[in-house]
Amino acid sequence: MNTLVRKSVLDVKPYVPGKPIEETKRQLGLKEVIKLASNENPFGPSPKAVEAMKKSLAGVNRYPDAQGYYLKKRLARHFGLLAENFLLGNGSDEIIDILIKTFVETDENIVTSDTTFLEYEIIAQVNSRKVKKAPLRYFKYDLGAMLKLVDKKTKLVFIANPNNPTGTYVTKYEVADFLKALPGQAIVVFDEAYNTFIDVDDYPDSLDYLRRKNKVVILRTFSKAYGLAGLRLGYAIADPQLISYMERVRQPFNVNILAQAAGLAAIDDKDFLKKTRRMTLEGKDFIYRELSKMGLGYVPSAANFILIDVEKDSREVFKSMLKFGVIVREMSQYGLKNFIRLTIGSQKENRRAISALRKVLTPRA
Amino acid sequence: MNTLVRKSVLDVKPYVPGKPIEETKRQLGLKEVIKLASNENPFGPSPKAVEAMKKSLAGVNRYPDAQGYYLKKRLARHFGLLAENFLLGNGSDEIIDILIKTFVETDENIVTSDTTFLEYEIIAQVNSRKVKKAPLRYFKYDLGAMLKLVDKKTKLVFIANPNNPTGTYVTKYEVADFLKALPGQAIVVFDEAYNTFIDVDDYPDSLDYLRRKNKVVILRTFSKAYGLAGLRLGYAIADPQLISYMERVRQPFNVNILAQAAGLAAIDDKDFLKKTRRMTLEGKDFIYRELSKMGLGYVPSAANFILIDVEKDSREVFKSMLKFGVIVREMSQYGLKNFIRLTIGSQKENRRAISALRKVLTPRA
């Protein structure tokens, strides 16, 4: 039957997700397992979102609102933009697919970085679009090198900012230069899934590029800071004309009813957002200090995770950590064979992760 | 900016969904509105599914299980198949996209019928794949005419059975002949979204074609009989090899946590399924009788909706029904200008719809 499948589909290296908690318990016979592998919110979902979902459960026999009317209106108010500036997606993953289908012909190309969110390349491959990747420079997007890859056929540039899995970010100065030099047909997509955790001054204000009529698309998500990863809710912000094209490609019922209800409530849950941010930044400082004590190298992160140089095979460290009931992400699929990525959890989880890491990396006497 | 968008995207005629209840209330200032426009379950979601979702709400900060482990295992038990026979989708809409991306190269084609579920053609267009359509014959799929359209480049054949929006079905005898005559590279997709409402003996047993190693993919959904349209949960059943190819194209977190939990519980809710089926068949008989009394023609339906010949502009009838608080589907986007499609509702809703239809179609004295 393998003459039936498309050739480019056979070339795809499928995405390997973080190991789920239940599966790990089942496989290893463990009672208590913590997951610090998928950059999820350790403090649960926004309580306001949970309340809103409860009220919506009885109505899930109806199709979702195909326009996302209320959620777009609420987002518009939040950002001081129009409802027409927004497109809702079944997670940002789906919006990446919509972007490629909307803007990139099969003989055109996409530019991004090496060692970044893997779905840009996977989704492009599935759609038979060419991706050109510049290497990272000191774990950071190298916009200069990316600019050299851009040609007349480049329609989309994906910039994960901060980048996953490195946690590094490109500055407003770097981005300003990049945008100035870019040819007119290229649209820049800023994937800002982790923007809530930024605590630096030179992070770019991508909404300002939008206001200044640059061809930019900003991706945001409810998965991380709002704690709604399981519901699948991401959104794009862009010029209404670009959004209207993307709306032609979006499937009408792509965002489920409960995600719409939860997103609407979560935006107003400022306390939860504040707590998540504060605890994550505190947790990051704690983990930095502990890693330094252990003499381990790490990449300073602008996000809710830390890339750690464990100086040995990442897959082995992953397996050993599992035995202590701690799920981390091994980085071999990203080509970082001696690194693990650790999500910043609750303070209790952070302590447990550091304790396990210490046991795993210290040779027995 | 319209030089940026792909040409085939501009050619797409976007899907026009049924009007939502809340929007109708808002726009017309009505307090009570019933919706019989989207073939939803009028009896709500499965109560067991609602209970299961309640228990899962606190965990939506985690990503969904990318493998759909428990739901696939439960489906396998339900059908006497393997978990590897199943692929889960964000509604069947998404699975149509996955099918096209997995199996149809850009120079290959898709065969289906005219006046059928519009997403086959829309999704193919978005993916720049050619669709060849045979006209219906007496409101029914004409498999003979479709066979004549099949050529060496045909990779997928979509058969909605029963068909939406006509409610007609193709028999097991017609399908057997069709499968026998089909060239080896063509995969037949039976979209059986409405199979629960079948009450005839000559409906094809598509699972039997699968067991006999035909190249078939069966689409089922939790949207209709289980009352979970708002959650987005459909699935494909096929040979494990075909499923494994489709899994390479599927995005890892396409099916949200609550849909997986609800689906798992709904399968066991046999009482709800029985009630839905019984009330729908009773409601169908009631509506048939009332339409006959009014002298209106209709297409006998094997599904939970009825295509009614209103003998005047469908859009006007739609608007007039709205004023009585009844949302039906006007059929102009399907090219059936004098027809409305009426979903079979609860008995109270059916009475109200018939009463409104009578008022709308009877000229005032």
CATH of the domain at B58: 3.40.640.10
Among B269, B289, B308, the domain-final residue is B269
Q: Could you list the beta-strand ranges (E) of B54-148.
A: 86-89, 109-113, 130-134
Flag whether pLDDT at B20 surpasses 90: no
Q: Which residue of B has its CA nearest to A47?
A: B58
Distance from CA of B293 to the nearest CA of A (A): 31
Instruction: Give the pLDDT of residue B3.
Output: 79
> By the 8 A CB rule, do A88 and A254 touch?
yes
Q: Yes or no: say if B24 and B33 are a contact pair by the CB < 8 Å rule.
A: yes
Report the pLDDT averaged over residues B253-276. 98
Shared-domain flag, residues A96 and A186:
yes
Average pLDDT, chain A: 96
Q: Are residues B83 and B219 in the same domain?
A: yes
Report whether B349 contacts B36 (CB < 8 A). Answer: yes
Report the b/e string of A81-119 with b at 16+ CB within 10 A. bebebbbbbbbbbbbbbbbbbbbbeeebbbbbbebbbbb
Cα separation, A24 vs A31, whole angstroms:
10
The answer on A162 and A55 residing in a single domain is yes
pTM over 0.95: yes
Q: What is the pLDDT of residues A102-146, one digit of tens each?
A: 999 999 999 999 999 999 999 999 999 999 999 999 999 999 999
Extract the tokens encoding B196: 């629960």
| pLDDT above 90 for B164 | yes
Mean pLDDT of A248-258: 97
- CA separation for the pair B8, B112 (Å, rounded): 19
Q: What is the pLDDT of residue A104?
A: 98
Q: How much of chain B exceeds pLDDT 90, in percent?
A: 92
B213 and B147 inside one domain = yes
Nearest CA among A305, A271, A291 for reference residue A42 = A305
Task: Sort out which chain B residues have CB atoms less than 8 A from A232's CB and list them.
Answer: 64, 90, 253-254, 256
Domain total of chain A: 2
pLDDT, tens digit, 9 for 90 and up, residues B166-188: 999 999 999 999 999 999 999 99
* Partner-chain residue, chosen from A42, A60, A239, that has the shortest CB–CB distance to B45: A60
Residue ending a domain, choose from A253, A269, A285: A269
Confidence label for B193 from pLDDT (cuts 50, 70 and 90): very high
Rounded Cα distance, B132 and B126, in Å? 15
Return the structure tokens found at A7.
């050739």
Contact criterion met (CB < 8 Å) for B62 and A93: no
The pLDDT assigned to B2 comes to: 62
- Among A269, A299, A334, identify where a domain stops: A269
User: Are A209 and A219 in a shared domain?
Assistant: yes
**Co-location of B142 and B163 in the same domain:** yes
Q: Searching chain A, which residue's CA lies closest to the CA of residue B49?
A: A57
Residue A364 has a pLDDT of: 58
The per-residue pLDDT for A2 is: 62
Note the pLDDT tens digit of each residue in A310-325: 999 999 999 999 999 9
* Nearest-CA distance A311 → chain B (Å): 29
Predicted pLDDT at B131: 98
Between chain A and chain B, the number of residue pairs with CB atoms below 8 A apart is: 256
Tell me the HSE value of B4 on the side-chain side, using a 13 A CA sphere. Answer: 22
Residues A248, B9: C-beta atoms closer than 8 Å: yes
| Domain interval for residue B331 | 2-44+271-361
Residue B133 sits in the same domain as residue B219: yes
A280 and A259, same structural domain? no
Q: For an interface test with A, which of B13, B60, B258 has the most A Cβ atoms less than 10 Å from its Cβ? A: B60
Q: Residue A145 half-sphere exposure, CB side, CA atoms within 13 Å? A: 14
Residues A96 and A181 in one domain: yes
The tokens for A28 are: 């290893």
Nearest CA in chain B to A256: B231
For residue A364, the distance in angstroms to the closest alpha carbon of chain B comes to: 35
A187 → closest Cβ in B4, B103, B256: B4
Chain A residue closest to B103 (CA)? A5
Summarize the confidence of residues A67-80 as an average pLDDT: 97
Q: Same domain for B67 and B14?
A: no
Chain B residues in contact with A91 by the CB 8 A cut-off are 251, 253
Q: How many CB atoms lie within 10 A of CB B263?
A: 26
Does A105 lie in the same domain as A182? yes
